[in-house]
Structure 1
C-alpha cells in the first residue's frame, strides 16, 4: 500500500465502530486489535527467521539435510525461547489474529477476543493488565466486530521489509493523532502533538539519566526521548541510558502508555497504580535528570485545598483553583542536582498575577531555576485553542555537566509564534524539520551543550535573546518572549495587550472547564435517578 492508502485503511477501520461506541472509548478496542494484528504478524515472521538461521552458512545445521533442517525449524518454531530471545511476544495458538479471523461470523467472537488477550497477557509478563479485554461488553450491532477485524487484516507488518517496531510505532501514533482530532478537548488526556513533543525533546536532549513524566498520557514523551538517545549515540561515541518513570491519572490512558512502551521494547516504572500526581504521588522520592510533561492546562479540581502545607511548594502556595504553578513546583522539586525540565503550559502562566502566581514566578526566577522560555504559534494543538508556551527549568545553569557556558542569572527567550510552516489540516499546523533544528540549535549554542554545532550564540531580534535578571526585573518578572526579543511588528503596548489577552483567555478557559465539569456532574446525577439528557 502507498502511505495514503495505508492511512486510509487505518482510519476506515476505526470508523467502523463510530456511532456504535462512544467517541472517547472506541480507540481502545481498535488499538487492541491493531496490536493483536502486529504481534501475530511478527510472531509468524519469526518462524521464518528461525528457519533461515538454520540455513545460514555459519550455522552448525548448514550441512544437515534440508528436510531435517525444516523438521528442526518446525520444532524450534514451537519453542517459546526462540521468540522471546529476539524480543518477540509469544502468541499462543488460538490467540493469533488468523485463528480469530476464521471466527469473525461467530456469535461468540467478542468472548474469543477477550480470551485471546488474556492468553497473550498470561504468556508475556510485561503485558499483564495492559491489553483491552472488554470486547464482550461492547454494545455492537451484529457483524460490526468481524467487519473491523476483516478491515484490519489488510495491514501487514513484515520485519523483513521494515523495522517492525518503528512501523507499529507509526501506526500507533497515527491512531492516537486521529483520535485526538476527532475527540477534541478530551484528547488532551492522552495525546501531545508530535511537533510539540519533538521540540521539547530536541531542546531537553535526554541522553543519560532518569527520565520522568508526571502526566504521561500515552507515553509519547518517553518514546521520542529514547529515539533521540539512540539517534545521538554514534555522534557522542557512547551509549545512552534513560530509565523511565511516569504517572497517569486515568486508568485506561495508563494502559495505552504501557502498551506503547511494550511495543517499542521499553520498560518503565509507572508506579503501582493510576492516580493524581498531587494527591497520590507514585514517585515521592524520585530525583530525575530529565522531566518532560504536557499537564492539563488550567485545571481547577486538583486537590489544592488539602495540600496547602505540601513540601513541594518551596516557592509559594499555588492557588487552589488553578494547577499550573502546582505542576511547575512539583516538577522543580523532583529534579536532581543536574536535572532539567521541559513543560507545556498555557500562555497565561508567563504573566499571571492572580492568587499569588506572580510572586511564585518571581521566586522561581530569583532562585535561578528558569532556563529558557519558548512562545509557540497557535494551532499546534488539535484539542485546545488556548495559546501555549514551553517552560524549561534547570537546577544547574553553570558551566559543567549541562553545558560549557555559564548561564547563571540568565534566561533564554525564544519567540516561535511566526514558525510552524507545515499545514497538517485546515485547523492544525506543525513545525518543519528545519524549524525544529534551528530552534533547538539556538538553545544548544546558548548553553554550549554537546548537541551544539560549535558556533557562538548571538541574540537575533524578533527571535531570541539572552536576558539578565535586571532585564526581567524591569519587566516585573513577566516571561513572555515577545517582551525581550524585540519583535519588529510589536511594540510594548501591543505586547502588554497580548499578555492581558493571554491571561484573560486562560481565565475564560478555566471557567469553561468548570462549566463542563458541572454539566457532566449534572448528567451523572440525572442518570443515577433514571433520567438522561
Structure 2
C-alpha cells in the first residue's frame, strides 16, 4: 500500500469515526457499535451493487460478438422501450450473484435510504403488496426494513444483521450519520483528484477492522471480549501458517483470526504465484461464539469479505453446546477470556475432552486448551492465548494437567508476551503452541523437521513499543523475529537458510529433562536465561579505584556545601 492510499484510509477512518463518536452521548459503545457497523455494511453492499450495475450498463451497450450481455438498440422500436428493457435487465438477480455481489432490493439501496430518511416522519414512502400506504415511522425502522429486505434476498445473510430499532436512537442523530456516510464511497476511490487502486473489499475490511479496535478501546474491559489486538492475531497466524485445511476458533469473538488467515492466504498465494481465489478454496472456516450480538458481528465480518463460514446453527456455549462435535481441525486458534470462574456445569464431570485431567471448576484455562486439543486433527497445530499463570500454576489440578500435556509431548512452543497489549486486561499473557505430530511423520508438510521430545521457549517480553500511554504493540520486525525463531526451529533453518540457534534472553530449545528439572513450569524466562552484558574492557580493580575516588570527591563537595548552608542559616538568626 502506497502512502497516498494510506492517507486516504486514515482520513476515511477519522471522518467516519468522528461521525460515529457523536452517538456516545446517547448510547454506550457496546450498543452503538452495532448501529455504526450495520450502516457501514449497508453502505458497502449498496456501493458494490451500484458498481456492478454500472458495469452491466457498459456491457449492455458494447457491440461485441463475444459479449453475451450486449443488448442491440435496433431490436426496440423506441428509445423509451430500450431504456425500459435495460432497467428491467438490471433488476435480474443472477447478474449480481454470478460475481458474488449481494443483491440489494430497491427499498434497501443507499440512495433510497438517504432520500427517504430526509423526509418528515409520517410521510408516505411507498405502497405495500396490498396497495396500502406505508408511512415513515422512524429512521431506525427504515434501516431495519432495509436489513429485512437484504436478508430475504440473500440466504447467506439470514439472521446475521443486527437490527437497530431496539436502541431507540434519535432520528436526527441517525440522519446525521447517514448523511456523513453518504459522502464516502467504497468503490472507485479518489484522493486529491488521483484515482486509487484500492478495491472496495480492501477499504471496507480496513474500516471494519479499525472500528472494531476503536470500539474495543471505548468499551474497555467488555470490548476486549470480542476483539484481539491485530498484531497478536497476525503473530499467531504467521506462526501457524494456516493456508490449507480446516481452521477453527472456539471463542471467535468478531472473527479476527479468520480475517488474518485470509490475508495470510493471499500473501502466501502471491509469494507462490498462486491465484488467491483458488487457494482460498482449500480453507474451511469453523467458529463458535456464545454472545448473540458478537456471533452476528463475526458472521457479518465474514460476509463482507466473501469468506464462507460455518459458525454453527446459533450462538452457544462452547463447553455445554458444542456446535461442531465431529470437527477435527488442522489449525485451531483462540483468545478466550482469561481465568473464567463461572464456566462449570455438573454435566461436564466426565467429559471426553478432559483426556489430560479434569480442569478446575474455578478456572477454564485448561478447559479451553483440552477442548481445542479434542478438536485437533492427528497432524494439526493450535495456538492459544492464556494468562501467564497457566505456565506455572499448581493449584486445583492445573499442575498435573500441564505435566500430562508435557509428558505426552504435545507442547511445541511457549511465547511470553510483554504487558499492556490488551484493551480489556492488564493480566500478563502468553501463547501456547501445541501439536499432535512433532515427528512430522503423518503431515504432508515435509518442510518441518522431527521435533520429538523438544519444546521451544521464546521470551518476547522486551519486544514491542508503546503506541500510546496505556497500550503496547508489536512492530512488523518484532513479529518477524518471533516467527522466524519458531520456523527456523521447526524446519532446522530460517527463511534465509540460517540454522536455528538458541539466543540468550530470547529463545531456547529445551528437552524433556530440562522441563522436568524445572518441575514442569513453562515460564520462558527460566530457560532462555539473561542477555549477556557486554564487557566495557576496564579491569575490575581499576574500575573500583576510579569509582571510589569519584565517590570520595563527591562526599567532600557535599561537606563544603553543607557548611555553606549552615553559615547562611546562622546569618539569618537560625541555629542548625
For 1:95, the equivalent position in structure 2 comes to: 108
Instruction: Find out whether 1:10 has 2:16 as its counterpart.
Output: yes
For residue 328 of structure 2, the aligned residue among 277, 282, 287 is 287
Quote how far apart the aligned CAs of 1:454 are: 3.3
Instruction: Find out whether 1:465 has 2:478 as its counterpart.
Output: no
Give the unaligned 5+ runs of structure 1: 491-533
Give the unaligned 5+ runs of structure 2: 1-6, 122-136, 190-195, 534-576
**Distance change (3 Å), C-alpha of 1:159 and 1:313:** farther
TM-score after normalising by structure 1: 0.87
Quote how far apart the aligned CAs of 1:429 are: 2.2
For 2:67, the equivalent position in structure 1 comes to: 59
Instruction: Find out whether 1:344 has 2:389 as its counterpart.
Output: no
For 2:353, the equivalent position in structure 1 comes to: 312
1:291-370 to structure 2, matched below 5 A, reads 291-370=332-411
For 1:514, the equivalent position in structure 2 comes to: none
Quote how far apart the aligned CAs of 1:481 are: 1.0
The 8 Å contact of residues 215 and 277 in structure 1, kept in 2 or not, is answered as yes
For 1:210, the equivalent position in structure 2 comes to: 246
1:363-378 to structure 2, matched below 5 A, reads 363-378=404-419
For residue 127 of structure 1, the aligned residue among 150, 157, 181 is 157
Range that drifts further, 164-173 or 430-439: 430-439
Q: Distance in 2 between matches of 1:322 and 1:192?
A: 20
For 2:462, the equivalent position in structure 1 comes to: 418
Quote how far apart the aligned CAs of 1:72 are: 6.3
**Distance change (3 Å), C-alpha of 1:332 and 1:63:** closer
- Residues 63-83 of structure 1 show CA distances to partners (whole Å, capped at 9, x for unaligned) of 956989977654432221111
The 8 Å contact of residues 338 and 387 in structure 2, kept in 1 or not, is answered as yes
Tell me, what secondary structure is at the counterpart of 2:179?
helix
- Residues 384-412 of structure 1 show CA distances to partners (whole Å, capped at 9, x for unaligned) of 11111100010001144254311011011
Tell me, what secondary structure is at the counterpart of 1:26?
helix
The 8 Å contact of residues 140 and 165 in structure 2, kept in 1 or not, is answered as yes
Q: Distance in 1 between matches of 2:347 and 2:357?
A: 15
Quote how far apart the aligned CAs of 1:56 are: 7.8
**Distance change (3 Å), C-alpha of 1:411 and 1:259:** same
**Distance change (3 Å), C-alpha of 1:416 and 1:231:** same
For residue 55 of structure 2, the aligned residue among 40, 46, 49 is 49
The alignment's C-alpha RMSD in Å is 2.3
- Residues 469-496 of structure 1 show CA distances to partners (whole Å, capped at 9, x for unaligned) of 0110111111111111112289xxxxxx
Q: Distance in 1 between matches of 2:161 and 2:493?
A: 40
Q: Distance in 1 between matches of 2:172 and 2:532?
A: 59
Quote how far apart the aligned CAs of 1:451 are: 8.4
The 8 Å contact of residues 103 and 154 in structure 2, kept in 1 or not, is answered as yes
Q: Distance in 2 between matches of 1:429 and 1:438?
A: 17
Instruction: Find out whether 1:427 has 2:460 as its counterpart.
Output: no
The 8 Å contact of residues 346 and 387 in structure 1, kept in 2 or not, is answered as yes
Quote how far apart the aligned CAs of 1:26 are: 1.1
Quote how far apart the aligned CAs of 1:383 are: 1.6
The 8 Å contact of residues 448 and 454 in structure 1, kept in 2 or not, is answered as no
For residue 272 of structure 1, the aligned residue among 313, 318, 324 is 313
Q: Distance in 1 between matches of 2:494 and 2:257?
A: 19
**Distance change (3 Å), C-alpha of 1:474 and 1:47:** same
Range that drifts further, 361-370 or 398-407: 398-407
Quote how far apart the aligned CAs of 1:434 are: 1.9
Q: Distance in 1 between matches of 2:111 and 2:206?
A: 23
The 8 Å contact of residues 117 and 142 in structure 2, kept in 1 or not, is answered as no
Tell me, what secondary structure is at the counterpart of 2:520?
coil
Which structure's relative contact order is higher, taking Cα pairs within 8 Å and 6+ residues apart? 1
Quote how far apart the aligned CAs of 1:3 are: 3.4
The 8 Å contact of residues 244 and 283 in structure 2, kept in 1 or not, is answered as yes
Tell me, what secondary structure is at the counterpart of 1:391?
strand
Instruction: Find out whether 1:78 has 2:55 as its counterpart.
Output: no
The 8 Å contact of residues 375 and 481 in structure 1, kept in 2 or not, is answered as yes
For 1:382, the equivalent position in structure 2 comes to: 423
Q: Distance in 2 between matches of 1:62 and 1:287?
A: 49
For 1:139, the equivalent position in structure 2 comes to: 168
Tell me, what secondary structure is at the counterpart of 1:114?
helix
Number of matched residues? 488
For 1:247, the equivalent position in structure 2 comes to: 288
Q: Distance in 1 between matches of 2:69 and 2:140?
A: 44
For 1:151, the equivalent position in structure 2 comes to: 180
The 8 Å contact of residues 340 and 363 in structure 2, kept in 1 or not, is answered as yes
For 2:126, the equivalent position in structure 1 comes to: none
Question: Based on CA coordinates, which of the two structures has the bigger radius of gyration?
Answer: 2
Tell me, what secondary structure is at the counterpart of 1:465?
strand
Tell me, what secondary structure is at the counterpart of 1:25?
helix
- Residues 127-177 of structure 1 show CA distances to partners (whole Å, capped at 9, x for unaligned) of 0001122x3332233412111211222221115742111211111111100
Q: Distance in 2 between matches of 1:383 and 1:489?
A: 35
Quote how far apart the aligned CAs of 1:2 are: 3.4
- Residues 82-129 of structure 1 show CA distances to partners (whole Å, capped at 9, x for unaligned) of 111111111111211111111224432221211111000000111000
Quote how far apart the aligned CAs of 1:419 are: 1.0
TM-score after normalising by structure 2: 0.80
The 8 Å contact of residues 379 and 427 in structure 1, kept in 2 or not, is answered as yes
Q: Distance in 2 between matches of 1:175 and 1:202?
A: 23
The 8 Å contact of residues 441 and 453 in structure 1, kept in 2 or not, is answered as no
Tell me, what secondary structure is at the counterpart of 1:455?
coil
For 1:448, the equivalent position in structure 2 comes to: 491
The 8 Å contact of residues 140 and 169 in structure 2, kept in 1 or not, is answered as no
For 2:192, the equivalent position in structure 1 comes to: none
